[in-house]
Amino acid sequence: MPNKKVLPPQTTLWGRITRYQIIIPLIALLLLVLVNLIADPTFFKITMKPNSNGDNILSGNIISIIDNGSELAILALGMTLVTAASGGQDISVGAGIAISGSVLLRVINGGDPRSETMQNPIILGILIACLVSMAFGAFNGALVAFLKIQPMVATLILFTAGRNIASWINNGELPIVKDESFGYFGNYIPGVPIPTPFIIAIICFIVMFLVMKFTTLGLYVQSVGINDKTSRLNGLNPELIKLMTYVILGLCVAIAGLIKVSRISTINYSVIAKDIEMDAILAVALGGNALSGGKFSLASSVLGAYVIQFLTTTLYKFEVKATALPAYKAVVVILLVVMSSPAVKEKFARLSKKFHKNEAAAGKA
């Protein structure tokens, strides 16, 4: 059977396991956990400590991972849908975070960067930031869906302009929100020991999961991603579905922007969420989703996002400088994608088949 690529179901346990998509990020996670266990078992210690406000909060490496990885996880949700539907990636999410953060700060401070009190309620700021971000998402989506421009190229426009637009919105000023309650979204709500970003990420995931469970959006996205011509023949509207995924990603970007801005109560246009688009795409790839569209798994992507954060924290633990971090990340990524590349997989499959054949022959003899 030279052309049979799919292993028959009765083959080894390994063959059965590897058909689940979530296995790729899980293996990566296990490897990281193992490395950390060997290097330093205290890595996983979680303690309860009072913070500067006197509230008891959880602290430890694991907590910092689920805290700092949350923006990435939220972005990964939207990015997975975009990737699945349009077979391309949005590289403007970092710039989008800058824009939505800038809008949020402008609305809350009412245009006065040094305002002592909040001029508008936070919820109004969040709503407007979400709307603006979704509008930019729709712009990207329209370019991709209706003008048939490749996603990476279409989003290159906002990638170039985004941070500039963000600083334009506030006239180059860096507004600071003095009110304490604004910091709750990026840090801790008094009395809750779990970091708020993680709670927000969980809520986002549950909402998205329910949407996938109780609507046909997931199925539609998948079928458009696999073949948009046949989906049209089946009565779907591929353009509208693609546009919708970009708008959803816009919403995710706004939420991630809220967390990012809330963490420091201010914004730095050129630094905020820098290179996060690369990490978000990586999370999707690490989650085993095909970057060329089609089948997808949200849970795998979210796990992929946290694995990336796990890797970052681990590297910090080994005293890698923040600026040198990308080099190590790159090596890990290359190793992962090489392992999961079809050519290498095929070779492995052939090797194991040979091995089994030999074993069988030996058993017969």
- Site for another protein, rule CB under 8 A: 89, 143, 147-150, 152-154, 156-161, 163-165, 167-168, 172, 278, 281-282, 285, 291-292, 321, 323-331, 333-334, 337-338, 341-344
- In whole angstroms, how close is the CB of 149 to another protein at the nearest point? 5
- In whole angstroms, how close is the CB of 126 to another protein at the nearest point? 24
Between 200 and 281, whose beta carbon lies closer to another protein?
A: 281
- In whole angstroms, how close is the CB of 181 to another protein at the nearest point? 31
Q: How many angstroms from the chain centroid is the CA of residue 39?
A: 28
Between 26 and 337, whose beta carbon lies closer to another protein?
A: 337
Reported as half-sphere exposure (CB side, CA atoms, 13 A), residue 51 has a value of 16
Between 215 and 341, whose beta carbon lies closer to another protein?
A: 341
- In whole angstroms, how close is the CB of 208 to another protein at the nearest point? 24
Nearest to residue 185, comparing CAs of 125, 128, 136, 132? 125
- In whole angstroms, how close is the CB of 281 to another protein at the nearest point? 7
- In whole angstroms, how close is the CB of 330 to another protein at the nearest point? 4
* Torsion (CA) 342, 348, 352, 358 in degrees, nearest 10: 120
Secondary structure string (H, E, C) spanning the chain: CCCCCCCCCCCCHHHHHCCCCCHHHHHHHHHHHHHHHHHCHHHHCCEEEECCCCCEEEECHHHHHHHHCHHHHHHHHHHHHHHHHHCCCCCCHHHHHHHHHHHHHHHHHCCCCCCCCCCCCHHHHHHHHHHHHHHHHHHHHHHHHCCCCCHHHHHHHHHHHHHHHHHHHCCCCCCCCCCHHHHHHCCCCCCCCCCHHHHHHHHHHHHHHHHHHHCCHHHHHHHHHHCHHHHHHCCCCHHHHHHHHHHHHHHHHHHHHHHHHHHHCCCCCCCCCCCHHHHHHHHHHHCCCCCCCCCCCHHHHHHHHHHHHHHHHHHHHCCCCCCCHHHHHHHHHHHHHHHHCHHHHHHHHHHHHHHHHHHHHHHHC
Between 151 and 218, whose beta carbon lies closer to another protein?
A: 151
Between 230 and 292, whose beta carbon lies closer to another protein?
A: 292
Distance CA 46, CA 51 (A): 14
- In whole angstroms, how close is the CB of 138 to another protein at the nearest point? 14
What are the φ/ψ torsions at residue 229 (nearest 5 degrees)? Answer: -70, -45
Between 117 and 150, whose beta carbon lies closer to another protein?
A: 150
- In whole angstroms, how close is the CB of 230 to another protein at the nearest point? 19
Between 136 and 188, whose beta carbon lies closer to another protein?
A: 136
Between 126 and 154, whose beta carbon lies closer to another protein?
A: 154
- In whole angstroms, how close is the CB of 220 to another protein at the nearest point? 24
Between 212 and 320, whose beta carbon lies closer to another protein?
A: 320
Between 20 and 168, whose beta carbon lies closer to another protein?
A: 168
Q: Do 322 and 328 form a contact (C-beta atoms < 8 A)?
A: no
- In whole angstroms, how close is the CB of 154 to another protein at the nearest point? 7
Give me the amino acid identity at 239: E
